[in-house]
Amino acid sequence: MIATDGVTMTCITCTDKGQIFVAGRDGHIYELQYTTGSGWRKRCRKVCLTTGIGSLLSRWVLPNAFKFSTVDPIVDMVMDEERNTIYARTEGMKLQLFDLGVNGDGPLTKITEEKNIVDPRDGPYGGRRSNAPRAARSPRPSIVCISPVSSVESKWLHAVAVLSDGKRLFLTTSGGSGSSVGLNSGLQRPTCLKIVATRPSPPLGVGGGLTFGAVSVAGRALPEDLALKVESAFYSAGALVMSDSSATAMSSLLAVQKDSAAQLSLPSTFGTASRTSRALRETVSALPVEGRMLCASDVLPLPDAAYMMQSLYADVECFTCFRKPSEKACIKLWAKGDLPTQHILPRRRVVVFNTMGLMELIFNRPVDILRKLFDGNTLRSQIEEFFNRFGAGEAAAMCLMLAAKLLYAEDSLISNAVSEKAAEAFEDPGLVGMPQINGTTALSNTRTQAGGFSMGQVVQEAEPLFSGAYEGLCLCSSRLLYPIWELPIMSIRGPSGNNKREDGVIVCRLSAGAMKILESKIHSLETFLRSRRNKRRGLYGYVAGLGDSGSILYKTGPIIGPGGHSNGRSPYNSQIRDMNPVDKSASNKKPRLLYTSAELAAMEVRAMECLRRLLRRSGEALFLLQLICQHNVARLAQTLGNDLCKKFVQLTFHQLVCSEDGDQLAMRLISALMEYYIGPEGRGTVEEISTKLREGCPSYFNESDYKYYLAVECLERASMTNNADERDILARDAFNLLTKIPDSADLSAICKRFENLRFYEAVVRLPLQKAQALDSNADIINGQIDPRHHDTIMLQREQCYRIVMDALCTLKGVGHSRMQSADKSSALATAADPASRSKYIKQIIQLSVQWPDTVFHEHLYRTLIELGLENELLEYGGSDLVSFLQSAGRKHQEEVRAVSSVTPGAAKMHDLGAPISTSQTKYLELLARYYVRKGEHIAAARMLLILAERQCSNSEEAPALDKRYEYLRDAVLQAKSAGIAADLSKNPVDSSTVDLLEGKLVVLRFQIQIKEELELMETAKAAKDKAKELSLNLKSITQLYNDYAVPFDLWEVCLEMLSFANYSGDADSKIVREVWARLLDQALTKGGVAEACSVVKRVGSKLDPADGACLPLDIICLHLEKAAVDRLSSGEELVGDDDVARALLGACKGLPGPVLSVYDHLLSNGAIIPSLNLKLRLLRSVLAILREWGISVIAHRLGTTSAGASFFLDGTFSLNQTGTANQGARDKIISLANRYMTEVRRLNLPQNQTENVYRGFRELEEKLLSSY
Tens digit of each residue's pLDDT (9 = 90 or more) over 760-799: 999 999 999 988 888 766 666 666 677 777 778 888 888 9
DSSP for 1051-1109, please give it: HHHHHHHHHHTT--SHHHHHHHHHHHHHHHHHHHHHHHHHHHHHHHHHHHTTS-TT-TT
Q: What is the CA radius of gyration of the chain?
A: 55
Give strand pairing partners of 145: 162
pLDDT tens digits for range 525-564: 999 999 988 888 877 777 766 653 434 444 443 333 333 3
Has residue 446 got a pLDDT over 50?
A: no
Could you give the CA distance from residue 220 to residue 681 in angstroms, rounded to a whole number?
80
Percent of the chain with pLDDT over 70: 74
859/764 Cα distance (integer angstroms): 13
CA dist 959 and 957 (Å) reads 6
**Which CA distances in Å does 869 have to 768, 861, 866, 872?**
21, 9, 8, 5
**Could you tell me the pLDDT band of residue 611, with boundaries at 50, 70 and 90?**
very high
Q: What is the mean pLDDT of the chain?
A: 77
pLDDT beyond 90 at 614: yes
The amino acid present at 418, given as its one-letter code, is V
Higher pLDDT, 378 or 677: 378
pLDDT band for 908, please (50, 70, 90 cuts): very low
Q: Which residues contact 1199 (CB under 8 A, 6 or more apart)?
A: none
pLDDT higher than 60, residue 519 = yes
Mean pLDDT of 951-968: 82
Q: Express each pLDDT in 24-54 by its tens digit.
A: 988 899 999 888 766 666 788 888 988 765 5
Cα–Cα dist 1171/1192, whole Å: 32
Give the pLDDT band of residue 989 (cuts 50, 70, 90): low
Cβ count near 379 (within 10 Å)? 10
Given a cut of 90, whether residue 825 has pLDDT beyond it is: no
Which of 132-136, 282-286, 359-363 shows the lowest mean pLDDT across its residues? 132-136
pTM of the model: 0.61
> Which residues are paired to 198 by β-bridges?
169
pLDDT at 585: 43
Mean pLDDT value of segment 853-859: 89
What's the pLDDT score for residue 439?
59
Give the integer Cα–Cα distance in Å for 379 and 381: 5
The answer to whether residue 1027 scores a pLDDT higher than 60 is yes
Rounded-to-integer distance, Cα 1116 and Cα 86, Å: 126
* Beta strand spans in 847-1002 (E): none
In 3D space, the residue among 283, 161, 141, 183 whose CA is nearest the CA of residue 233 turns out to be 161
Order of strands across the sheet with 348-354?
293-298, 348-354, 357-363
One DSSP character per residue, 29-88 reads EEEEEE-SS-SSS-SEEEEESS--HHHHHHHHHS-GGG--SPP--EEEEEEETTTTEEEE
860-879 pLDDT per residue, tens: 999 999 999 999 999 888 88
Does the pLDDT value for residue 666 go beyond 70?
yes
Measured at the CA of 871, the angle between CA 869 and CA 872, to 5 degrees, comes to 70
Q: For 1146-1175, what is each residue's pLDDT tens digit?
A: 888 778 888 888 888 888 876 667 778 788
Measured torsion, CA atoms of residues 458, 461, 463, 466, in degrees rounded to the nearest 10: -10
**Can you name the residues that pair with 505 across neighbouring β-strands?**
493
Q: Is the pLDDT of residue 1192 over 80?
A: no
Give dist(CA 796, CA 805) in Å, integer: 15
CA distance 392 to 381: 14
Task: State residue 623's pLDDT score.
Answer: 95
Q: What is the pLDDT of residue 1167?
A: 64
The sign of the dihedral angle between the CA atoms of 475, 479, 485, 487 is positive
The Cα-based distances of 18 to 15, 31, 186, 663 in angstroms read 5, 11, 21, 47
Q: Percent of the chain at pLDDT above 90?
A: 17
132-138 long-range CB contacts below 8 Å, 24 or more apart? 132/224, 136/224, 138/165, 138/224, 138/227
